[in-house]
Amino acid sequence: MKLFRREYPLAILYYHHILKEPNIFYPSEVCQEEFEKQIAYLKNNFDILPLQEALAKLKSGSLKRSSLVITFDDGYKDNYDYAAPILEKLNVHATFFIATEGIESEILWNNVIEQSVIKTKKDKISKEIIGEEINISNNDLKISAIKTLTTILKRMSNKERKQKIAQLSSQLNISTFDRVTMNVEEIISLDRRGFEIGAHTHSHTILSAEKINDCRDEIKTSNTILENIIGKKIKYFAFPNGSFDIDFNSQHRALIKELGFEAAFSTNDGGCFNDSNLFSLSRFMTIKNTLPFFALSIATIAHERSKKDERNLVKL
């Protein structure tokens, strides 16, 4: 790779949940036992760097082969409960991108969908939610329903989505929800233990679904809340859902730069290079269920440049 590019790529891995144990409703998420195996594997095979150090080396062209950054999106409590202790045990750094509405409400909109469907004793969802009736009479159908509802509702504006989700939870007769996101004390703890805290909007909305002034409010609100919590500048931002030209565009990249962030991150697969756009740096999610598949997907993605990364080369 370096012979072709004259530099080694930076691989940025991202996670969402780290589960206490396997859960049928989260089949693609890793449990803590498997997560520890993955981090141990990464430590033995990669140069795992804090995000700020990695970006400095990326800019200077001094990255070593197999350089890697670990990140987490959304701000889930299980990151604090299960991921952070394992990272500390293995002396590995990571960055946590927080959607700040979860700090206040203890839950994000997609978790309201999940818990409403999982907890309900109803066996169907009427067509008023997404235009078609959905059967949820068993767990397999509930898993499918959650995926369908999330896929459709995430493309709505935050205002429209909240109305639909309120209708959903009312229809399914669910009014109380379990806390799934980190609180103020837990975020402060992560910061004081040396982990990086980044912003991820306030309501975890896809920016392309919002008007630009609402995007500005989403980003500024998230940034202000986090800076007030940890008492320091928030340097980095991760785009929700995160696909460039679908979930955000060059106008949103410019907005992130204007608001004073040093870098921002997409979910477009591929490695990052010196000429990659600092405000849409690629990240990737691996096949996480078993260590052999995890290792294979890491090896494939971390050392190759994705075609999707080509669109990010133009500097702002």
Q: Give the pLDDT confidence score for residue 296 in this predicted structure.
A: 75
What tokens appear for 46 in the block?
């990669």
SS3 at position 276: coil
69, 53 Cβ separation under 8 angstroms: no
Q: Give the pLDDT confidence score for residue 3 in this predicted structure.
A: 41
Give me the residues paired with residue 71 across strands.
Answer: 14, 95
215, 248 Cβ separation under 8 angstroms: no
Q: Give the pLDDT confidence score for residue 302 in this predicted structure.
A: 62
Could you tell me how far CA 129 lies from the centroid of its own chain?
Answer: 26
Q: Give the pLDDT confidence score for residue 314 in this predicted structure.
A: 36
* The residue type at 162: K
Per-residue pLDDT of the chain (316 residues; tens, 9 = 90+): 444 456 788 999 999 999 999 999 998 899 999 999 999 999 998 999 999 999 999 999 999 988 999 999 999 999 999 999 999 999 999 999 999 999 999 999 999 999 999 999 999 999 999 999 999 999 999 999 999 999 999 999 999 999 999 999 999 999 999 999 999 999 999 999 999 999 999 999 999 999 999 999 999 999 999 999 999 999 999 999 999 999 999 999 999 999 999 999 999 988 899 999 999 999 988 765 678 777 877 776 665 443 333 333 333 3
82, 32 Cβ separation under 8 angstroms: yes
82, 20 Cβ separation under 8 angstroms: yes
51, 95 Cβ separation under 8 angstroms: yes
Q: Say how far apart CA 90 and CA 113 lie, in whole Å.
A: 35
Q: Say how far apart CA 29 and CA 129 lie, in whole Å.
A: 27
Is the entire prediction scored with pTM above 0.85? yes
What tokens appear for 167 in the block?
């209708």
Q: Which of 190, 158, 160 has its CA nearest to residue 76?
A: 190
